């Protein structure tokens, strides 16, 4: 007898769960609040879809920090190589970029999503076509605690299924569909959830002077939107270990954002939550040694301005010089040795992470301790959970999509295994 399963959330996690269950002959119904599937996945393709990462498994797993042990079996079953093979099975070849990140050869998400949806809808070879129900917002459960409640243009209705997979995403970029509205619904059913927090996010700087809120008007008006590159950030994580990484970030109206900041964002966010502030240090000339910088700041500058001197001797100008003026006192700027020290290690204090709606991803979510090995909520038998709504986080670099696909696969397999065991 064909069993019916509801997948709620047509992002990468939900679609992967649907694919696994379809391949076992289940009749899969995918519901999503948005008019079309995979909106965030498509957005991820705008800047180049970073599907996964080529680094060896121990390093790859370590990106999931405290949640590496929980994700390990799932990533062993469906890791970076499996992600690439899966893309290839949809006619999308991938390549390893210079940073080790893996992208489709055309960098885009749309052809991959189109081929995937086509394969799911078509079915065949014992795979029933997946039925899609867009513009269906999940509202929770009917009074029997089992049937699923949805709202669509016609009103409210219920859907009864033999099992359900929730893949509702986190709470970043809510206009793409994931708004975290599921949190109270699951809490009411006794599912343990870590609070959703911004991950891979920007930060507001602490006021840079006694009479200022965040950046000065000068820095904000002249340099918001400017990239700072190359630059290295050094920051200490919650275990007290110092990390340094080189890259680039962008000065925003209120602080900083960009790939290099995201790499440090989990530790900085947690430090701010614990102590109200977090400080990182910027190396504005990462390719120069401290001695080289000191030799140039000591060089007599005659009648030239400091800005002209730094530009001609160290190629330090624009937003980097503006940051020095923003964060240092006149005495520090005019002391050649102190200035050299700050060029190599300029402290920048952060006051708050930017709101979760602006973040690339979410931390927090359904705790693994509330789930079986097959990702079923132990408090709600027959309800499985996958993707970013689970309590893990990782930096950008393809780690997010890989874990979404791996947990989607595990949840789909969990449904099938549960049925087979019954
Ligand atoms: C700008 C940007 C760029 C990114 N780039 C990358 C990248 O290059 N590489 C990478 O690995 N990751 C990237 N990510 C992260 C990645 O896109 C997400 O981690 C991933 O999409 C999460 O997948 P998911 O299936 O768990 O949830 P989502 O993709 O968020 O899908 C959840 C779905 O659930 C639906 N939904 C939510 N609530 C309800 C409800 N109540 N009823 C019905 N439907 C509902 C939503 O409409 C949505 O379609 C990027 C994210 C952003 C914002």
pLDDT digits (tens, 9 = 90+) for 295-346: 999 999 999 999 999 999 999 999 999 999 999 999 999 999 999 999 999 9
Q: List pLDDT tens digits, range 411-421.
A: 999 999 999 99
Residues 6+ apart with CB under 8 A from 418: 163, 374, 376, 382
Which atom of ligand 1 has the smallest separation from the CA of 182?
Answer: 41
pLDDT reported for residue 422: 87
Does any ligand 1 atom lie closer than 6 A to the CB of residue 172?
A: yes
Tokens of 368: 């693994």
pTM over 0.85: yes
Query: What's the pLDDT score for residue 240?
Result: 84
CA distance 336 to 333: 7
**Ligand 1, atom 35: closest residue by C-alpha:** 9
Report the distance separating Cα 74 and Cα 405, nearest Å. 10
Closest ligand 1 atom to residue 178 Cα is 37
CA of 108 to the centre of ligand 1 (A): 16
- Residue 35: which pLDDT band, with cuts at 50, 70 and 90? very high
State if residue 271 touches ligand 1 by the CB under 6 angstroms criterion: no
Residue 250 clears pLDDT 70, i.e. is over it? yes
**What does the pLDDT average to over 57-64?**
96
pLDDT of residue 120: 98
Given a cut of 60, whether residue 257 has pLDDT beyond it is: yes
Mean pLDDT of all residues in 15-43:
98
Average pLDDT over all residues of the chain? 96
Which helix or strand (DSSP H or E) is residue 7 part of? strand 4-8
Return the best residue to mutate from 16, 177, 385 for the ligand 1 pocket (most ligand atoms within 8 A of CB): 177
Q: Are 392 and 403 in contact (CB under 8 A)?
A: yes
For ligand 1, is residue 49 a contact (CB within 6 Å)?
A: yes
Residue 169 CA to ligand 1 center (angstroms) comes to 5
Most informative mutation of 7, 9, 112 for ligand 1 (most atoms within 8 A of CB): 9
* Confidence at 138, pLDDT banded by 50, 70, 90: very high
Asked if the model's pLDDT at residue 1 lies above 80, the reply is no
Cα–Cα distance, 72 to 75 (Å, whole number): 5
pLDDT greater than 90 at residue 284: yes
- The band of 207, judged by pLDDT with boundaries at 50, 70 and 90, is confident
Specify the pLDDT at position 132: 98
| C-alpha to C-alpha distances, 342 to 178, 332, 335, nearest whole angstrom | 42, 9, 11
Share of the chain above pLDDT 70, in %: 99
* pLDDT tens per residue across span 221-245: 999 999 999 999 999 987 888 999 9
Q: Say whether 75 sits in a helix, a strand or coil.
A: helix
Average of per-residue pLDDT across 19-36: 98
Label the pairing between strands 346-353 and 203-205. Answer: antiparallel
What residue's CA is closest to ligand 1, atom 4? Answer: 44
Distance 171 CA to ligand 1 centre (A): 9
Determine contact, residues 360/393, Cβ cutoff 8 Å: no
Angstrom CA distances, 151 to 7, 154, 156, 258, stand at: 15, 8, 4, 37
Per-residue pLDDT at 68 exceeds 80: yes
């Amino acid at each position: 007898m064909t069993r019916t399963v509801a997948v709620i959330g047509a992002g990468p996690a939900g679609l992967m769960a649907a694919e696994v269950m379809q391949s076992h002959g289940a009749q899969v119904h995918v519901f999503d609040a948005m008019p079309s599937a995979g909106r965030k996945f498509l957005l991820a393709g705008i800047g180049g879809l970073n599907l996964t990462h080529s680094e060896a498994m121990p390093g790859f797993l370590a990106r999931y920090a405290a949640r590496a042990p929980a994700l390990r079996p799932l990533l062993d079953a469906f890791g970076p190589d499996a992600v690439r093979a899966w893309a290839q099975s949809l006619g999308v070849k991938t390549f390893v970029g210079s940073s080790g990140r893996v992208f489709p050869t055309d960098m885009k998400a749309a052809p991959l999503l189109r081929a995937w949806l086509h394969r799911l809808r078509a079915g065949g070879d014992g795979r029933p076509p997946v039925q899609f129900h867009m513009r269906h917002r999940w509202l929770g459960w009917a009074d029997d605690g089992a049937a699923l409640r949805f709202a669509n243009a016609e009103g409210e209705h219920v859907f009864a299924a033999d099992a359900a997979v929730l893949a509702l995403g986190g709470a970043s970029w809510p206009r793409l569909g994931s708004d975290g509205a599921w949190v109270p619904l699951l809490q009411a059913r006794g599912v343990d959830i870590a609070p959703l927090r911004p991950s891979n996010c920007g930060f507001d700087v602490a006021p840079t002077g006694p009479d200022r809120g965040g950046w000065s008007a000068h820095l904000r008006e002249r340099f918001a939107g400017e990239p700072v590159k190359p630059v290295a950030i050094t920051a200490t994580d919650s275990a007290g270990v110092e990390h340094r990484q080189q890259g680039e970030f962008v000065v925003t109206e209120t602080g900083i954002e960009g790939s290099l900041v995201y790499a440090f964002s989990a530790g900085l966010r947690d430090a701010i939550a614990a102590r109200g502030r977090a400080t990182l240090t910027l190396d504005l000339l990462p390719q120069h040694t401290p001695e080289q910088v000191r030799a140039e700041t000591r060089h007599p500058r005659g009648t030239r301005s400091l800005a002209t001197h730094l530009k001609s001797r160290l190629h330090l100008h624009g937003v980097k010089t503006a940051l020095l003026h923003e964060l240092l006192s006149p005495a520090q700027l005019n002391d050649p040795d102190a200035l050299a020290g700050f060029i190599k290690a300029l402290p920048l204090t952060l006051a708050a992470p930017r709101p979760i709606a602006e973040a690339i991803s979410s931390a927090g979510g359904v705790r693994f301790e509330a789930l079986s090995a097959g990702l079923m909520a132990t408090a709600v038998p027959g309800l499985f959970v996958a993707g970013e709504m689970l309590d893990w986080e990782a930096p950008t670099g393809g780690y997010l999509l890989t874990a979404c696909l791996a947990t989607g696969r595990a949840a789909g397999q969990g449904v099938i295994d549960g049925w087979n065991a019954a």
